[in-house]
């Protein structure tokens, strides 16, 4: 890998870690309610692309920090199950613990 590719990779990795924290904190602002991922994407523009948001939602869901469900049916789903415009999310107990500092994850910058 050349120096430029290594630099770009390091930037992407650091951005992913920062974005994970930003997504968690934004969802936390409505802790007691689900927030639509479409609305979340509007709130995070232009600092985060939809692709970056989806990477974060995928990671945070797989780690159990957020819970996602379908907007209309309220059935539990992941971003692999439905378009992101049809999903909403809220923090799980583990997500709240992560934000409060009682849990640690090197891939989430709180």
Domain boundaries, the chain: 3-99
DSSP state of 20: H
Question: CA quadruple 70, 71, 73, 75: dihedral positive or negative?
Answer: positive
Model confidence at 17, pLDDT cuts 50, 70, 90, reads very high
Residue 106 has pLDDT above 70, yes or no: yes
- pLDDT above 70 as % of the chain: 99
pLDDT digits (tens, 9 = 90+) for 18-64: 999 999 999 998 778 999 999 999 999 999 999 999 999 999 999 99
Domain 3-99 in CATH 1.10.10.10? The answer is yes
């Amino acid at each position: 890998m050349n120096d430029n590719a290594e630099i770009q990779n390091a930037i992407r990795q650091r951005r992913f870690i920062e974005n994970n924290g930003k997504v968690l904190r934004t969802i936390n602002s409505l802790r007691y309610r689900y927030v639509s991922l479409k609305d979340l994407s509007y709130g995070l523009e232009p600092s985060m692309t939809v692709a970056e948001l989806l990477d974060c939602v995928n990671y945070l869901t797989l780690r159990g920090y957020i819970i996602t469900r379908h907007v209309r049916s309220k059935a539990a789903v992941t971003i692999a199950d439905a378009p992101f415009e049809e999903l909403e999310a809220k923090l799980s107990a583990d997500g709240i613990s992560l934000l409060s500092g009682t849990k640690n994850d090197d891939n989430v910058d709180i």
